Chain A
Amino acid sequence: MKHTAEEMMTVAAARELRDGQTVFVGIDLPSRAANLARRLHAPGLVLVYESGTIDTRPDELPLSIGDGVLTEHALTVVGVPEIFNYWLQAGRMDVGFLSGAQIDRYANLNTTVIGEYDEPDVRLPGSGGAPEISAGCREVIVVMRHRKRAFVDRVDFVTTFGHGSGPTDRALLGLHGAGPVRVITDLGVLEPDPGSKELMLTALHPGCTVEQVRAETGWTLEIADDLGETTPPTERELTTLRAMRTVGADRR
């Protein structure tokens, strides 16, 4: 079966999640990948959304973070202060799944503004739960389309702290989790260099080239010595992904 770059990204992200893990899920790309994982190799994956829905098993993808479909299929629903204080901040989440408008070489994310804060070129939605997801989860996986305007040397605004400007920053700030451990794009996979914490290319998706990835990256990207190639989506992965529908968004 032929697949698109977008499908490869979603499948590669879904494969990152293991059965039984607790995952704090952002909307859109992360939500699609997490729900795909639950339908494939991780039926016991515990999905938690910031709307307070815990261990939810939606039969259709939610359009928003608080759709009714999340409540109807949840083990329990708690208030927003509880979800952030008791569940996220207290360290009960294994994996945080995030996306953003900009990411930099140290995996810091920007969802606030393009340009200056006081006179922005583009005003973006802002923080939401992302800063605390990155601070509180044991590890963070980022899913983003690989474009030069998004993969920048320095983000215009640090909305969500990744690795700051190097290997010691998270510890200095008292952040408990490991921070971003992998960035899954539609071209390949980036991981922080264990020493410097700078993102480097560790795998290419089938049909993608190093030149292509470099052309879409706003810093001089290091390439791992043992650069891997992602296994293409299986027929089962693709069929399952294509069968997933978003609630009430059939007109998109």
Chain B
Amino acid sequence: MYGITRCPKCGYTQKTSPACGSCGQALNYSNPFGSPCRPESKPAPTRPAVAPASGQVKAPVPEKTPASDTTPSGELAFHGSGGSLFGIHIVNIFLTLLTLGVYYFWGKAKVRNYLFGQTEFAGDRFAYHGTGRELFTGFLKAAVIFGTISAVFKAAPFLPGGIGVKIAAMLLAYALLLTFIPMAMIGTRRYRLSRSSWRGIRFSFRGKTNAFIKLFLRGTLLSLFTFGIYYPFFLTRQYAFMTDGAYFGNRKFAFDGEGKGIFGVYMKALGLWMIWGILVGIAMPVATNFVRDFAIDWFGSKKMAVAVLIGSLIIATALVAVYLQSFLSARRQSYLWNHTTIDTARFQSTISFHPLFLLTLTNFFLLIVTLGFGWPWAAARKARFYMSNIRLEGAIDLQAVQQEAQAASPTGDALGGLLDVDVGFGPA
């Protein structure tokens, strides 16, 4: 069940086991400070079991609570700049080249440290606690898993035996991939939350990996068999799982939305996409006539006219796609945020469609024009946009938020990087 205990040496909270999963210290369940407790239960007024700090001189922790400390304002803000991020990035590139790639992981930790340190909630900055060393060992382990999957994929067509063997091998490879993707998603979230803190209190993720794998397989298959109709529901369930398992200290996040909340938006976007298809279908014959009758005079040759026609069609379609994508994304994210709560407080999103569209488009051109080297600016703009459009409404009694850090392995995060699944803090 939910036996949770705290390791007296390193302070990590964990499921009942004879030793701390993080540092190996033996756990003593008769210890009144480390007694197992349910994380959902109201915080017991027990003193945390971290050994008293040696540097404390006078009575360290006040017995009476000071005037209730609640979040003064639920504003989020991002203070970072593209320039500083670029500076970090370019030094990372240099050291990565110099160390034949090894420094990459330390550089990644540095970038994350910067992004967290520049993000403020209610007057206090977030902090990132991951290290390059962790990311490096995580990568080595994840590379073995990833290598196994891709080896099965690559080897499948060359296996001796009939077509049956080959199909079986391919199915096995897909089954592996479909299992490892959700594992990596959970691993990423577990690791990243565990290494994030605000006001010294760690976030954590406590959802069960197996439950998510089941949810993911079921959702993928249902989405396939319903030709995507189920997808919005699948997405909402994933988000619900990711949110319901997330904690800030001993305080639980929760999600109270439903799939039908975003279903309408998906149908609308799909409908508009189909209308665009019909418009193109109508426009094509007209354009063909136009090419035959006039365009040759304008563009010099028929080839040129056709090239211009097809080129503009592709660009227009890409624009429509980005437009609809922004619409969908803004509505979906707002819905998901607005149904996310922690304790008695609720998130509120003002992410709206047109600003998001403009941001996506301008960032895209920024990256194309700079061959990707403009990403620090793009990332800073994106962070600024989201942080200024999300806030937390309602107060949390911060005095009552107790540290309940959880151990987490970096392997899942690294595997997530290799499989290209990205799990951020909120809805994407």
Q: Are A and B genuine complex partners?
A: no
Residues of A within 8 A of B (CB): none
